[in-house]
Amino acid sequence: MKHLDIIEMAHHDASVRTTVSIDDDLFEKLKDAAAKRRQPFTAIVNETLRQGLSAQRTRAARRQPFRVETFDSAFRPGVDPLRLNQLLDDLEVRRAGEPSPG
């Protein structure tokens, strides 16, 4: 894990220094991005953090609450209309096991 000291000179007219621990794989990706784009490492870290945080806000704002549409049904609670054939089969098996009237 790499430890980085980031100095941002223009933050509300105050100099801010923050030490951040970044996993090695993320450090390499950020370093590569900074080299490819020819930008300072700090700028890439700040941009990446801003994008990640704004994406979280957008996702949360976009998320709609889950709603269940209710409807009136001819079936009683607990009766699964998709298993009615099984109910008929069970009744036939019961009837087959009963002695015949006679």
**Per-residue pLDDT tens digits for 26-51:** 999 999 999 999 999 989 999 999 99
- Identify the CA nearest to 42 among candidates 3, 4, 2, 1: 4
pTM > 0.85: yes or no: no
| Distance from C-alpha of 50 to C-alpha of 98, rounded to nearest angstrom | 74
CB 4 within 8 A of CB 12: no
- Identify the CA nearest to 19 among candidates 3, 43, 2: 3
* pLDDT at 102 > cutoff 60: no
